[in-house]
Structure 1
Amino acid sequence: MIQKDAIIIGSGQAGNPLAIKLSSAGWKTVLIEKSEGMLGGVCVNVGCTPSKILIASAKVMHTINSSEKHGISVQKVSIDFDATQKRKEKIVEDSRKGVKKNLEEAGNLDLIFGTASFSGEKTISVQQENGETVEFTAPHIFINAGCRPATLEIDGLNNVKWYDSTGILELREIPEKLIVIGSGYIGLELGQMYSRFGSEVVIVDKASQIMSNEDPDIATNMQEILEEEGLKFHLNAEIEKVEQDGQEITLTFSEDHKQKQIKGTHLLIVPGRKSNSDSLKLENAGIKADEKGFIKVNSKLETNVDGVYALGDIKGGPQFTHIAYNDYVIVSDNILDEKTGSTEGRIIPYTVFTDPQVGRVGLSEKEATQKKLNFSVVKIEAKRITRGLESAEIQGIWKAIVDQDSGKILGAAIIGTEGGEMASVIQMAMTGNIPAKVLQTFIFSHPTYSESLNTLFDELE
């Protein structure tokens, strides 16, 4: 049994900086990651970084193919998809090497590769890649073990070659016909990406709208934009079975009480993500999790076991890289600097990296209604935005929720070019308690997208 001051499970966007911060403070720390190929966690290796690299390449392809709206004619556009993938792989590899270098250069820090599980309340057993087992104990344990792609139980799926959100990023060929099961953020991002690369894309979901967490007007607008690009949708669909004959995949489903079939060459299944806690043997430590395996924590990210914390996706709630990093900030500040950080009241932004983006922050109209708040809705079409008109990017809508009593902004949804950046501008106003009416006449540089916040909040009565 090796004694440490801290054990960290997982090198994601919370575990990695926490390991460096604690070890720099003199704590004898061990960081456990399943394999060297996952250093940096999901975001660096199979999530944000590789997907956004490919999405950026797809946007370039789309920009070239739609250049005629600028009076520019381009002939015989082609793509070397292997070169596109190699660019992605180099950036991912360089990022992973950077993580490893920083960890190896840190003092008081051991980096171990293997599968971790609890063997007692404050003890961790690690089955290493070489087959050997090593055990650690520490008064402080931090779980940043993340999530993995979930799947669905579909009749015939075991006999079909299909991809999850990780596997679909590794293709060396562009699918001729891609069937996507799931109309959440990942399904839309990857569906549009491959459509722009040249695939015929059909998205199928049992939900009644895409992006089921968003307001109906936001979802409808985004679906219309994607349909204009050629993507097809089947919603309210009950999937019955899937079959494969050679290279052809057939998906059978019911829609509006009618049985339908669609055929494709590739199948992507993205119903969400599943907690990795099932391999941790939480029961050996008495750590409580919910029915889906997400570890229960309080507002300071502490589990029910003193000294054991859960950070990032594995604790449930919003599953975003920036949330994991903020979890690290809260925990490290509280432990090392005796601060009183908490997850209560933090304003959470996120971006759906479709094109145009969906930038979101704070409450949606649906959530404000559920909370029975007294609020107003202001909304403008993106075609009113000067910068968008100049750039020939006029798709989308801007929408904000404003508290009628205080005049403060409760939330916003921005579908438009750099929608995520615009949501961040609104987030800063929310954090600073700047009333919405101030943004009616606030001086922004012209012509920028931010300037159109004048236009949006001028809709206030």
Structure 2
Amino acid sequence: MNRNKLILLAAIALVVAVFIALDGHKVLTLENLQAHQTSVAAWIEQNLLVAVTGYAALYVVVTALSLPGATIMTLAGGAFFGNFYGLVAVSIASTIGASLAFLVARFLLRDTLRDKYRDTIARIDRGIEKDGAFYLATLRLVPVFPFFLINLALGLTSMKLRTYALVSWVAMLPGTFVFVNAGTQLGQIQSTSDIVSADLLLSFALLGLFPLIAKFVVGFLRRRRVYAGWQKPAHFDYNLLVIGGGSAGLVSAYIAAAVKAKVALIEKDKMGGDCLNTGCVPSKALIRSAKAADTLRHANRYGLESVPVKGSFKTIMERVQSVIRKVEPHDSPERYEQLGVECIAGEASFVSPWEIQVRLNDGGTQRLTARSIVVATGGKPALPPIPGLEDMQPLTSENLWQLEEQPQRLLVLGGGPIGSELAHAFARLGSQVTQVERGECLLAKEDTDVSALILQQFEADGIDVRLNHEATEFRVEEGEKVAYCDHNGTQVRIPFDEVLVAVGRAANTENLGLDEIGVETLPNGTVPVEADMSLRYPNVFACGDVAGPYQFTHAAAHQAWYAAVNGLFGQFRRFRVDYRVMPWVTFTSPEVARVGLSETEAKEQGIAYEVTRYGLDDLDRAITESEGQGFIKVLTPPGKDRILGAVVVGAHAGEILAEFTLAMKHGLGLNKILGTIHPYPTWNESAKFAAGEWKKAHAPGTVLKLLEKFHGWRRGKNGMPNSG
């Protein structure tokens, strides 16, 4: 940090220290304002110009340094100077103070952040250049947002100072008037009868209603502005158009049809999307075959003779395809047509916020209009830009299912859920698997004890896990495929037959025409959605992988409810998507299932917690099935049974987790789980036993000691029965 910045920081720290030392935070209170109202008002009457100037200067300092008390000072402006002088002083001083805070943030932090996050800052600056003034005005109009945060945040952007000052001044005027006017009424309170005067009640009613009025006005202006230049159709072909026939699209269309809306679903490929055709269904079918192979290979665990596993990989993949075919009717066009959904085979692109052009698979084109449109185009595997990778014709979770020959040596790039599930399955089916992960652990979103257990099992099953390895180049050397990885500065050579890439996913937005309606994708490829799942326009929504932040089938279905309901009934009420209880499962062996906070997340967020653990090796059902590996870990606030998060590592972890998910959703604590009858012997008893571990740790020691003495007294001396 240069010398000028250090001097400025020192000056700010000095002013803040003086403010605290002089109890400035106690001076700028409503009680203090009312206590000195009469004496201060008398002095101001004799020294109006000096008083207004000094007041404005103090207001500038308070707002520029983001000190507490700006609201009280605004009320004081009205109380001491009246509506006219108070409004002039506050509006000018608040604008100058906000502009100074804006400049301070820009001087101290912008260069540093721009150097560190160049691409992100550049993208924000483009948005500010395009819509910055409007969004600043909306933030200023709605006093829900702390003004000091707006000052600091906008200072980090490329917005011009004159734009910032002018927009802030104009947009803050309505709110300033409301608060100053309320202050004038405070200044007129002389007796208790004044408290119920019509003027006072009206002023404070306006003070309370202003945020709602401002929100309505902002919403109206935003709609007018965002739809400017577009001609809304006089009538519509549909109530809802859904683009994409995956999990999110199917649920959106189903909901619309269920409430008797006219709905069409457009899908250019196969109904069911990734989940049915290339994701959940085929991968779980393959994992089940792999588990069967592992059971045969280790049949001695069950008192049987272990046998070498023999089988045709082609036959295994044929079974996978047969599973897809059996599930397929659930997502078929025929079923959805029966439900009342018009299914259209083609590729859709936006013409306007209400109009879609469809390039039909049969070669024709069609234009359709709808009151609301849902984008549910899903995602696809991402290929990292590693030299030579494309020449290897890499496998992904999308094209893997066309394999007919099992790779003898399989290289898996990625240690996340998809990479780990498929690496484990292929290893159990007999492939020699090398798994490369550039991070320090597998399943990086989980706690270290979870990752460590999975790593231990992978290594026991023969997977060569290479942590802290980053693939840098792929080559063909003497007819052999080779990957080169960087491992802490050392080059590592890994030969292989096939490479499976599982390092993340990218949203499907190509040829969708989002740029035609002014929607830009985020750096990770997803589209920017509001809390109600809408895009730039209140009638255009997105859900599923194309929207993020979760890329799970159940998350897509969860979002789809909000998109469909808000799309059909949003003019009456809008629902904000709720992610507070989002479970997920990684289907390795053992499975990893989690809901809520992990220990790592709790520490990062500064949330106090305690941990309750229960080992599945203690569970009778797990013992009978020789599946005792794993544990349950539950996070709760210190001394309380409310569940902050839970993770289950073990066989049937996904099913066990459901009880914790239900409890979190409905505010049930561990005591409620403990008090619920669970059939014996079942895997779900483990949830009850975990709750029992919490109860034992919080047993009332003093009460138990008193009870012990009570029972001893009841037995009489030397254990003899007492006559009572």
Q: Same fold per TM (> 0.5)?
A: yes
| Aligned partners of 2:239 and 2:568 also within 8 Å | no
Gap runs ≥5 in structure 1: none
Task: Tell me the residue number matched to 1:284.
Answer: 516
Task: Tell me the residue number matched to 1:303.
Answer: 535
- When Rg is computed on C-alpha atoms for both structures, the one with the higher figure is 2
Selected match of 2:343 from 76, 87, 111: 111
Higher strand content, 1 or 2: 1
SS of the residue 1:152 aligns to: coil
Deviates more, 1:300-309 or 1:332-341: 332-341
Deviates more, 1:446-455 or 1:171-180: 446-455
Task: Tell me the residue number matched to 2:103.
Answer: none
Deviation at 1:382, TM superposition (A): 2.8
Selected match of 1:143 from 375, 390, 401: 375
| Aligned partners of 2:296 and 2:308 also within 8 Å | no
Deviation at 1:140, TM superposition (A): 0.6
Deviates more, 1:21-30 or 1:153-162: 21-30
C-alpha distance in 1, partners of 2:299/2:598? Answer: 35
Selected match of 1:93 from 325, 338, 342: 325
SS of the residue 2:405 aligns to: coil
| Aligned partners of 2:348 and 2:512 also within 8 Å | yes
SS of the residue 1:211 aligns to: coil
Work out the percentage of aligned pairs sharing the same amino acid.
29
Task: Tell me the residue number matched to 2:240.
Answer: 6
Deviation at 1:96, TM superposition (A): 2.8
Distance 1:325 1:158, change over 3 A: closer
2:576 counterpart of 1:363 = no
| Aligned partners of 1:333 and 1:339 also within 8 Å | no
Task: Tell me the residue number matched to 1:102.
Answer: 335
C-alpha distance in 2, partners of 1:367/1:256? Answer: 27
Task: Tell me the residue number matched to 1:313.
Answer: 545
Task: Tell me the residue number matched to 2:608.
Answer: 374
Task: Tell me the residue number matched to 1:425.
Answer: 659
Selected match of 1:81 from 313, 318, 323: 313
Task: Tell me the residue number matched to 2:300.
Answer: 68
The amino acid that maps onto 1:370 is: E
Gap runs ≥5 in structure 2: 1-232, 698-724
Deviates more, 1:17-26 or 1:361-370: 17-26
SS of the residue 1:5 aligns to: strand
Can you list the C-alpha shifts for 1:281-334, whole angstroms capped at 9, x where unaligned? 212112353222212222221222021111111111111111111222334445
C-alpha distance in 1, partners of 2:673/2:480? Answer: 54
Deviates more, 1:126-135 or 1:359-368: 126-135
C-alpha distance in 2, partners of 1:70/1:192? Answer: 22
Task: Tell me the residue number matched to 1:448.
Answer: 682
Higher relative contact order (CA 8 A, sep 6+): 1
2:432 counterpart of 1:195 = no
Task: Tell me the residue number matched to 1:253.
Answer: 485
C-alpha distance in 1, partners of 2:264/2:680? Answer: 51
Task: Tell me the residue number matched to 2:623.
Answer: 389
Deviation at 1:114, TM superposition (A): 2.0
C-alpha distance in 1, partners of 2:369/2:568? Answer: 20
Task: Tell me the residue number matched to 1:404.
Answer: 638
Deviates more, 1:394-403 or 1:54-63: 394-403
Q: TM-score, normalised by structure 2?
A: 0.60
The amino acid that maps onto 2:625 is: S
SS of the residue 1:295 aligns to: coil
Higher helix content, 1 or 2: 2
C-alpha distance in 2, partners of 1:138/1:241? Answer: 48
Deviates more, 1:329-338 or 1:76-85: 329-338
SS of the residue 1:14 aligns to: helix
The amino acid that maps onto 2:613 is: K
The amino acid that maps onto 1:101 is: E
Deviation at 1:29, TM superposition (A): 2.3
The amino acid that maps onto 1:401 is: L
Deviation at 1:232, TM superposition (A): 1.3
2:358 counterpart of 1:131 = no
The amino acid that maps onto 1:128 is: L
2:488 counterpart of 1:267 = no
SS of the residue 2:418 aligns to: helix
| Aligned partners of 2:552 and 2:584 also within 8 Å | yes
The amino acid that maps onto 2:253 is: A
The amino acid that maps onto 2:333 is: K
C-alpha distance in 2, partners of 1:122/1:247? Answer: 55
SS of the residue 1:31 aligns to: strand
SS of the residue 2:309 aligns to: coil
C-alpha distance in 1, partners of 2:687/2:237? Answer: 55
Distance 1:135 1:216, change over 3 A: same
C-alpha distance in 2, partners of 1:404/1:333? Answer: 39
| Aligned partners of 2:416 and 2:503 also within 8 Å | yes
- Once superposed, what is the RMSD of the aligned Cα atoms? 2.1
C-alpha distance in 2, partners of 1:9/1:285? Answer: 15
SS of the residue 1:51 aligns to: helix
Deviation at 1:244, TM superposition (A): 2.6
| Aligned partners of 1:249 and 1:267 also within 8 Å | no
Selected match of 1:226 from 458, 461, 467: 458
| Aligned partners of 1:402 and 1:436 also within 8 Å | no
| Aligned partners of 2:529 and 2:535 also within 8 Å | yes
C-alpha distance in 2, partners of 1:247/1:44? Answer: 36
2:421 counterpart of 1:170 = no
The amino acid that maps onto 2:558 is: N
SS of the residue 1:139 aligns to: strand
C-alpha distance in 1, partners of 2:263/2:510? Answer: 24
Deviation at 1:335, TM superposition (A): 5.2
Q: How many residues align?
A: 458
Can you list the C-alpha shifts for 1:418-461, whole angstroms capped at 9, x where unaligned? 01111111111212322224444543222222222343234433
